[in-house]
């Protein structure tokens, strides 16, 4: 493996110095770096279609600071169904202390302190992968591959408005500052940009070479990184100019048959410091890592996984990568250091997971399911 550019090493070293780099001698993964804070990973299942063999049904909670120890399974009305529906997306708010998830037909709201389901709502057109405004007041919920997004009041689930794109609504990312929401549909090669203040589509980015699948953005909202149909790799869009600027193909691996999603790469994410892009490769059961510090992302490493990945995201501190196949990967060493298992010893796989940080029983910080970059300066 070639050595990395000194600029990248400086940024990486700075990030880890500030976040407390180093694994505790008490265990392979170490202990929580703050005695007052507890970092938990919330994994919503069934998060691989409706397959119950990958952790059953419910919200599975793991203690990040204690080696991803299984903590508990939270049952919800969705998990108590005779045939639990696919979980489509998850998000949370530290402001309100609530977690939200969607099935094919409903939006659910969970109180993180009491672990009670506060309400569920059947939304017009069904539900897909949602996002929440940083103030915790509004949810942006795509209908199930139809023409619109539903804007929903996060307090009670009431419908506020609809955004019509006629794009086959599917994936949703809200910017860290809450000013923009990015909307991708299964039938469109364009990424729509929604302004939260005016409640209007104000721009579109593209066209990309094919309809957009999973995507992510950087913290400053200057770049988007998009999986597209037919590509093992990803394409890069300029959010300022509205144009696609790069096509990045994985080298050394061939496309092959995939079990789910119908595209070679379904899942892309930025490390929080934005120095790397990680992209999924289903047919080869792999993750491919790209150095993102230069003018164009450059492939630097690949990792073999235990199943076909369909998603990738990261811990808030950037130490760990979480593919949907349930491995815990140390980002610095690029080694698998643990795997998720439930209370029955079953492998836990899910494309729907989010980190929540607690002080006592109070949520104080939440992650994001999309692997969004967090460099805003």
CATH number of the CATH domain containing 70: 2.130.10.10
- Whether 6 shows a pLDDT value over 60: the answer reads no
| Enclosing domain of residue 287 | 39-366
List pLDDT tens digits, range 237-279: 999 999 999 999 999 999 999 999 999 999 999 999 999 999 9
Is position 22 within any domain? no
Is position 14 within any domain? no
Q: Considering all CA atoms of the chain, what is the largest pairwise distance in Å, rounded to the nearest integer?
A: 55
pLDDT of residue 360: 94
Is position 31 within any domain? no
List pLDDT tens digits, range 70-118: 999 999 999 999 999 999 999 999 999 999 999 999 999 999 999 999 9
Q: Which whole number is the average pLDDT over 178-184?
A: 98
pLDDT of residue 35: 54
Choose the weakest-confidence range: 23-32, 261-270, 290-299, 367-376: 23-32
Is position 143 within any domain? yes
Q: Residues 221, 224, 225, CA angle at the centre, nearest 5°? A: 150
Spatial separation of the C-alpha atoms in residues 8 and 201, rounded to whole Å = 36
pLDDT of residue 36: 84
Q: How confident is the model at residue 8 (pLDDT cuts 50, 70, 90)?
A: very low
pTM of the model: 0.91
pLDDT of residue 10: 39
- Whether 327 shows a pLDDT value over 60: the answer reads yes
Long-range CB contacts for residues 321-328, cutoff 8 Å, separation at least 24: 321/269, 321/271, 321/278, 321/287, 322/41, 322/353, 323/267, 323/280, 323/287, 324/47, 324/48, 324/267, 324/280, 324/349, 324/350, 324/351, 325/285, 325/349, 326/54, 326/350, 328/29, 328/68
Is position 9 within any domain? no
Is position 372 within any domain? no
Number of independent structural domains in the chain: 1
Question: Token pair of 170, please?
Answer: 């599917």
Is position 335 within any domain? yes
Is position 3 within any domain? no
């Amino acid at each position: 493996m070639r050595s990395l550019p000194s600029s990248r090493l400086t940024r990486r070293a700075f990030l880890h110095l500030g976040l407390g780099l180093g694994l505790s001698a008490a265990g392979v993964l170490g202990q929580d770096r703050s005695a007052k804070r507890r970092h938990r990973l919330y994994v919503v299942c069934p998060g691989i279609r409706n397959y119950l063999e990958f952790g059953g049904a419910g919200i599975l909670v793991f203690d990040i600071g204690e080696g991803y120890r299984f903590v508990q399974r939270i049952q919800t009305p969705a998990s108590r169904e005779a045939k639990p529906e696919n979980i489509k997306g998850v998000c949370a708010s530290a402001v309100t202390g609530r977690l939200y998830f969607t099935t094919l037909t409903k939006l659910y709201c969970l109180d993180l302190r009491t672990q009670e389901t506060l309400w569920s709502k059947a939304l017009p057109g069904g539900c897909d992968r949602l996002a929440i405004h940083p103030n915790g007041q509004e949810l942006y919920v795509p209908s199930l591959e139809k023409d619109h997004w539903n804007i929903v009041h996060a307090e009670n689930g009431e419908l506020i408005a609809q955004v019509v794109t006629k794009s086959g609504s599917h994936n949703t990312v809200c910017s860290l500052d809450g000013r923009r929401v990015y909307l991708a549909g299964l039938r469109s090669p364009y990424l729509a940009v929604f302004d939260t203040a005016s409640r209007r589509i104000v721009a579109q980015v593209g066209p990309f070479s094919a309809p957009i699948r999973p995507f992510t953005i950087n913290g400053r909202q200057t770049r988007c990184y998009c999986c597209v149909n037919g590509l093992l790799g990803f394409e890069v869009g300029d959010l300022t100019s509205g144009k696609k600027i790069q096509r990045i193909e994985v080298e050394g691996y061939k496309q092959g048959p995939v079990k789910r999603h119908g595209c070679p790469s379904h899942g892309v994410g930025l490390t929080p410091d934005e120095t790397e892009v990680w992209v999924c490769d289903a047919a080869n059961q792999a993750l491919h890592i790209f150095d993102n510090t230069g003018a164009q992302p450059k492939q630097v490493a690949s990792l073999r996984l235990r199943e076909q990945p369909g998603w990738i995201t990261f811990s808030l501190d950037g130490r760990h990568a979480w593919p949907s196949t349930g491995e815990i990967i140390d980002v610095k060493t690029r080694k698998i250091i643990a795997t998720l298992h439930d209370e029955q010893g079953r492998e836990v796989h899910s494309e729907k997971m989010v980190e929540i940080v607690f002080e006592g029983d109070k949520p104080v910080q939440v992650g994001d399911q999309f692997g969004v970059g967090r460099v805003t300066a």
